[in-house]
């Protein structure tokens, strides 16, 4: 197989074909050689999506957190973590992810990361604001 992004895409195809375990095995076989930050972030997103479908929420959360640490600017990791943490009533963790969204909104020019879909960051920011209001009501 060619470059690492092609492998991540192949894992994505396996995901859409509902071959989640095969996708994880493919990612595992190449993960240790990934050095590029963007490729690594995409691998983490691919892992997270497959673990979500395999109902392994702990591993899904781990890979979403890793993608965020690598400054992956797709909305999946942020949204998935907020949903998972709210579902498990981990309010502080959900608020932490929401704060990261608002911090990134101020620090980064999100338009350059969403060239094809500039509204994605606005979507996740709007979602985060609604979830924050919900969480604060639950805490109080």
Residue with tokens 């805490």: 139
**pLDDT attached to residue 71:** 83
* Long-range residue pairs from 18-23, CB within 8 A, at least 24 positions apart, any chain: 18/53, 20/50, 20/51, 20/53, 20/54, 21/50, 21/54, 23/50
Band of the pLDDT at 1, cuts 50, 70, 90? very low
Query: pLDDT of 84-113, one tens digit each?
Result: 999 999 999 999 999 998 887 665 555 555
Which residue in this structure is represented by tokens 């949204």?
Answer: 79
- Enter the DSSP assignment of 18: T
Tens digit of each residue's pLDDT (9 = 90 or more) over 40-89: 998 999 999 999 999 999 999 999 999 999 988 788 999 999 999 999 99
Q: 112-135 b/e with 16+ CB inside 10 Å = b?
A: ebbeeeeebbeebbebbeebbeeb
Class of the CATH domain delimited by 1-72: mainly alpha
Domain ranges of the chain: 1-72, 73-140
The yes-or-no verdict on residue 119 having pLDDT over 90 is: no
């Amino acid at each position: 197989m060619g470059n690492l992004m092609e492998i991540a895409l192949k894992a994505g195809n396996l995901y859409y074909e509902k071959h989640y375990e095969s996708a994880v095995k493919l990612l595992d076989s190449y993960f240790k050689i990934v050095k590029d930050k963007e490729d690594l972030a995409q691998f983490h997103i691919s892992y997270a999506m497959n673990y979500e479908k395999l109902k392994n929420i702990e591993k899904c959360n781990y890979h979403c957190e890793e993608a965020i640490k690598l400054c992956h600017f797709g909305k999946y990791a942020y949204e998935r973590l907020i949903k998972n943490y709210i579902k498990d009533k981990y309010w502080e963790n959900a608020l932490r992810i929401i704060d990261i969204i608002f911090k990134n909104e101020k620090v980064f020019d999100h338009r350059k990361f969403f060239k094809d879909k500039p509204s994605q960051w606005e979507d996740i920011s709007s979602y985060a604001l609604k979830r924050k209001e919900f969480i604060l009501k639950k805490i109080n």
